Structure 1
Amino acid sequence: MGRVRVPEQHEGKRKEILDAAHRCFLRYGLQGASISMICKEAGMSPGHLYHYFPSKDAIIEQMADEYLSTLHTYFGRQETGDVATVLLSEIWSMSSWDDTAHCRILFELLAEAGRNDRVRDILADNTAGVRKLLAQTLRAGQAKGEVDRGLDPEHTAAMLIAIVDAAPMLPLMVPGIGFDESRKLMTAMVRRFLEPKAAEQS
């Protein structure tokens, strides 16, 4: 009789595979990395890997779901400060942009979403919850007179998500860019964009 895998061991092995896949995707890209490459990196046979993931697509989907969920958990943690700082809490929670691996994986996942319906759905599902939270924050700001009432909260929330998701890619486009100064500048830009018009404040 075969040995029964306990859940902890099963999840631990899945994480090992995901970590190995992550390293392969960084080296070869999501399309360039093969199951055999991932197996070699994880130190297991294809048959063993298929006990945990039925395909490379399943690995990509699991990675996308976990990565995006982690990326967006920063939103909502910042409960104090002005509206712009709260809305950009993910950027304010980051300590630096030194690790370009984060940027490269995000590029890969966004590109994969353009050709893989399941990854696109995962991206949309993860974004929907964050967008709802940001829209609620914007509406509260409008009610207090802190945010331009002419802005559509849903559309503005979507724009803010795009800004935050693109921000970590700056080191790839502009090497050596200063993190702290750029973070402050981005917050100032969003603050000025959101501020009520003079007629609303009078």
Structure 2
Amino acid sequence: MARVSQEHLDARRRQILDGAALCFARNGFHATSMQDVLKEVGLSAGAVYRYFSGKDELIRAIVSEVLSEIRDIFESAARQTPPPPPDVLVGRALGQVLDLKPGLVEHDRPYFPRLLVQVWTETLRDEELRTLIQDGYDAVRAAWVRIVEGYQAAGMMRADVPADRVARTMIAVAQGFAAQVALFDGVPVDALADGVRGLMSMGEPS
């Protein structure tokens, strides 16, 4: 029997994750059954269960992947001297998150932000998922702290505000904008970068 290549296994796992994410984003975690996922990806139960034991494991795998992508964006920025300005960073991060799953678009509407909002509410009942989200948040916040310290060292940002508080605020801005994209029509992705740029331009009243 011919051995299945790792490339084939990775592609099949990707297929399952993308299909499950679309199902969850479209109908919610609790209204989506594993049968719905099987139908979406066009695979047998045996093929899917070879990779994931059920819905909870699929949800955690999707969340873990996204958190890893976001952490990598900010950790890469933190290694630069000085880091890219906040408007560039938050715009880049949100744009990349929305593009992580290009298949999560139906009728020109991105479903991925809706999935993010559902994940946040799911953490209220799933302790393991809550821990995963907490660890991811802590990692992103730590990267943002280093970014803010880079701004302060370069004289780009006032140094009398604790870096951790600026980091928490920048994360909150991105989270809030993702919620807008999920809940409301007509929210352009580049509005976030433009808005942050406008706030950065503020000075003392003339």
**Under TM normalisation by the shorter chain, which class is it?**
0.7 to 0.9
Contact 1:83 1:137 in 2 (8 A): no
The match for 1:161 is 171
Contact 2:67 2:136 in 1 (8 A): yes
The match for 2:104 is none
The match for 2:186 is 176
The match for 2:46 is 47
Give the C-alpha shift of residue 45 in structure 1: 2.9
2:12 paired with 1:13: yes
Inter-CA distance 185–148: structure 2 relative to 1 (3 Å threshold)? same
**Larger RCO of the pair (alpha carbons < 8 Å, separation 6+):** 2
Deviations 1:41-75 (CA, angstroms, capped at 9, x unpaired) = 22233233211111211111111111222244433
The match for 2:27 is 28
What amino acid maps onto 1:104 in structure 2? R
The match for 1:126 is 136
Contact 1:77 1:89 in 2 (8 A): no
What amino acid maps onto 1:65 in structure 2? S
Inter-CA distance 36–181: structure 2 relative to 1 (3 Å threshold)? closer
Larger Rg: 1
What is the rounded CA distance, in whole Å, between the counterparts of 1:178 and 1:14 in structure 2? 31
Inter-CA distance 188–69: structure 2 relative to 1 (3 Å threshold)? same
State how 1:25-174 maps to structure 2 within 5 Å: 25-75=24-74, 76-77=76-77, 83-85=85-87, 87-88=89-90, 90=92, 99-174=109-184
Query: What TM-score results when the alignment is normalised by the length of structure 2?
Result: 0.75
Inter-CA distance 3–33: structure 2 relative to 1 (3 Å threshold)? farther
Inter-CA distance 95–22: structure 2 relative to 1 (3 Å threshold)? closer
Inter-CA distance 59–3: structure 2 relative to 1 (3 Å threshold)? farther
What is the rounded CA distance, in whole Å, between the counterparts of 2:181 and 2:47 in structure 1? 38
The match for 1:200 is none
What is the rounded CA distance, in whole Å, between the counterparts of 2:161 and 2:109 in structure 1? 35
Contact 1:39 1:49 in 2 (8 A): yes
Give the 3-state SS of the residue equivalent to 2:73 in structure 1. coil
Query: What TM-score results when the alignment is normalised by the length of structure 1?
Result: 0.77
Deviations 1:85-133 (CA, angstroms, capped at 9, x unpaired) = 3553535856999743121111122122222222222222222232222
Inter-CA distance 187–117: structure 2 relative to 1 (3 Å threshold)? farther
Inter-CA distance 107–95: structure 2 relative to 1 (3 Å threshold)? closer
Deviations 1:2-40 (CA, angstroms, capped at 9, x unpaired) = 765432222222112112212211221112111121122
Contact 2:152 2:158 in 1 (8 A): yes
Give the 3-state SS of the residue equivalent to 1:158 in structure 2. helix
Give the share of equivalent positions with the same residue, in percent: 23
Inter-CA distance 64–115: structure 2 relative to 1 (3 Å threshold)? same
Give the C-alpha shift of residue 172 in structure 1: 4.2
Structure 1 unaligned residues grouped into runs of 5+: 198-202
